[in-house]
Structure 1
């Protein structure tokens, strides 16, 4: 009985390895086919093309294309550290650029809240209009609920910027007491074991959650490609426009898009964090924070940085 259990266990391990190798090898073909046949998934005048886009965006094939690309770039970076540093600077630059831009949504949120208070309490107006010629006019409750969208912009698109700047709250039990290289090992393991899988799971949930509020028939993560293509015969756009109140904010599908963007940014920064940790581990403590573009409060304000 024990011998049969051992054979079953090793058979499962072997089958898993074969499946992994087959998918990694197939990723090159799938990527090449997708690039050379863009009309099959980007021609949205064809309903079947939309369903193929939905399927592949959350598919095993797409995951292994991304995973294989990561393996290839990592292999090149192991031999050419300058190339890996370039990827770190590029990904961190993307995080900083997005974060510094969308952080202004916090200011817009405050200004809009002030306008809402004045229009309600001082001018006793039920609506607000912006623009010239044909103004954009909505009920005050619409603008009040829209404040949540500004908050979502800051949370979803500034998350990796905050990570680069060291602004996230950390619960440190052992990290501060270990050596520099041990810290880098913890960072590498954390990026691979925690950040990447969490980002993948969030993407998988968010991707189909998004499309279920954009089209009907509603796609499911368990649907095969053939089933989704069959569903495409009855496909029509059904963009979510229902608010929590009768005159409230009615573009909640934008939150679903932000969830997908959030997962993508976290995954990309997990790669950047792994690369930086590896390079700092190899090059030693002298390379700590190398090329790191951190914001500064100005000369003489160093004591306050990292405390906001």
Structure 2
């Protein structure tokens, strides 16, 4: 059981770490938007590269934050029902939901996403605009990275749920209450 809990802790820590690092992309996104607005408004110099970079930062921020959001319980779930469950029932629902829905979905996205990125790399795909950013495979690779981190977070939640079902106490949250094991 301690192996399950240690594995859960490591996997969830990895997802938290990547999500925390990805949060700094907000700063780059804001700076890019401000620069784009200033150059459009005062220099009358619109840049397709800046616009492409804006959505690249936005996509990377979103995708690399998926695992973090899952680990922290900030994803969509039915809280009205979830709060009525005890720790073991919540862990069982988490286990079943992750095994049936989340893990297979992540694996499907990773499987087909690899071909998606590989094709982009082989074609040296660039922006649809002639003055846009080249090497679109770089941003498409964040799809793989983001869903891999979501898979890591899901595996951490599975280990934790299994440990709870086997008798481990639910982990304590930062506020001293039992952490919700979300679905």
Q: Structure 1-normalised TM-score?
A: 0.53
- Kept in 1, the 8 Å contact 2:120–2:136? The answer is no
Q: Does the 8 A contact of 2:121 with 2:135 survive in 1?
A: no
CA deviation digits over 1:13-69, x for unaligned, max 9? xxxxxxxxxxxxxxxxxxxxxxxxxxxxxxxxxxxxxxxxxxxxxxxxxxxxxxxxx
2:85 to 172, 178, 187: 178
Given candidates 265, 271, 276, the residue that maps to 2:160 is: 276
Q: TM-score, normalised by structure 2?
A: 0.85
Deviation at 1:152, TM superposition (A): 1.1
Does 2:30 align with 1:110?
yes
* CA offsets 1:113-145 (integer angstroms, 9 cap, x no match): 11111122113345xxxxxxxxxxxxx211112
CA distances 1:252-272 after superposition (whole Å, capped 9, x unpaired)? 212321111222222222211
Contact 2:12 2:152 in 1 (8 A): no
* Aligned-partner Cα distance in 1 for 2:31–2:131: 21
Count of residue pairs the alignment pairs up: 175
Q: Are residue 201 (structure 1) and residue 108 (structure 2) matched?
A: yes
Alpha-carbon offset, residue 180 of structure 1: 2.5
1:244 match? 128
Q: Answer yes or no: is the 8 Å Cα contact 2:66–2:147 preserved in 1.
A: no
Q: Residue 78 of structure 2: SS of its match in structure 1?
A: coil
Alpha-carbon deviation of 1:151? 0.8
2 CA distance for matches of 1:206 and 1:92? 23
Partners in 2 of 1:185 and 1:145 — Cα distance? 43
> Structure 1 residue aligned with 2:71, among 148, 164, 169?
164
Deviation at 1:189, TM superposition (A): 0.6
> Which SS does the other structure have where 2:132 is aligned?
coil
Which of 144, 155, 179 is the equivalent residue of 2:62?
155
Deviation at 1:249, TM superposition (A): 2.5
- The structure 1 residue matched to 2:147, chosen from 255, 260, 263, is 263
**Is the partner of 1:214 in helix, strand or coil?**
helix
TM-align CA RMSD: 2.0
The alpha-carbon deviation at position 172 of structure 1 amounts to 4.2
TM superposition shift of 1:244: 2.3
CA distance in 1, matches of 2:63, 2:7: 22
CA deviation after TM superposition for structure 1 residue 165, in Å: 1.7
- Which one has more relative contact order, counting CA pairs under 8 Å at least 6 apart? 2
**Alpha-carbon shift at residue 104 of structure 1 (Å):** 0.9
Identify the residue that residue 89 of structure 1 maps to in structure 2: 9
The Cα of 1:175 is off from its aligned counterpart by 2.8
Name the CA distance, whole Å, in 2 between partners of 1:171 and 1:178.
Answer: 11
Which whole-Å CA distance do the structure 2 matches of 1:98 and 1:111 have between them?
21
1-structure distance, mates of 2:108, 2:75: 21
Q: Distance in 2 between matches of 1:211 and 1:186?
A: 36
Task: State the 1:176 CA deviation.
Answer: 2.8
